[in-house]
Amino acid sequence: MNLKLSAAAAALAVLPFAGFAAGPAHAAIQCNGAYQVLKSGEEIATPYCEDTYLAYIGQRFYGTKYSAHQVRWNPLAKRDTCLVAGHDIRVSSICRGLLNEGGRNFN
């Protein structure tokens, strides 16, 4: 009987964490271009949506190969995408800090 109680207690201890295994946390994030749509309907700029939008513009209009995940987690992928598509008005503000604009170029 003690063994049955221990198994039930273990199952109850794991139960609160079961929701975390159901899917990634970012699945609930809704983006409209580079802006995240809040529950209130308000839109704010977030790095997640900006990176997703940058990857989309790069792939769709400039033929880049990087996914949104790669742009988000690999700074070189983001920089490469910005080098190709960063002049586009739709993503220029996202790439502003990654490109050498008007500064000294030592290449």
Number of domains in the chain: 1
Residue 82: inside a domain: yes
Residue 103: inside a domain: no
Residue 21: inside a domain: no
Residue 51: inside a domain: yes
Confidence band of 12 (pLDDT split at 50, 70, 90): very low
pLDDT for residue 9 is more than 70: no
Q: What is the pLDDT of residue 103?
A: 56
Which residue in 53, 35, 31 sits closest to 44, CA to CA? 35
Q: What is the pLDDT of residue 3?
A: 47
Residue 58: inside a domain: yes
Question: Which pLDDT tens digit goes with each residue over 28-63?
Answer: 899 999 999 999 999 999 999 999 999 999 999 999
Q: Which residues contact 31 (CB under 8 A, 6 or more apart)?
A: 37, 48, 49, 52, 53
Residue 64: inside a domain: yes
Q: What is the pLDDT of residue 28?
A: 83
Residue 41: inside a domain: no
Domain that includes residue 62, residue range? 46-96
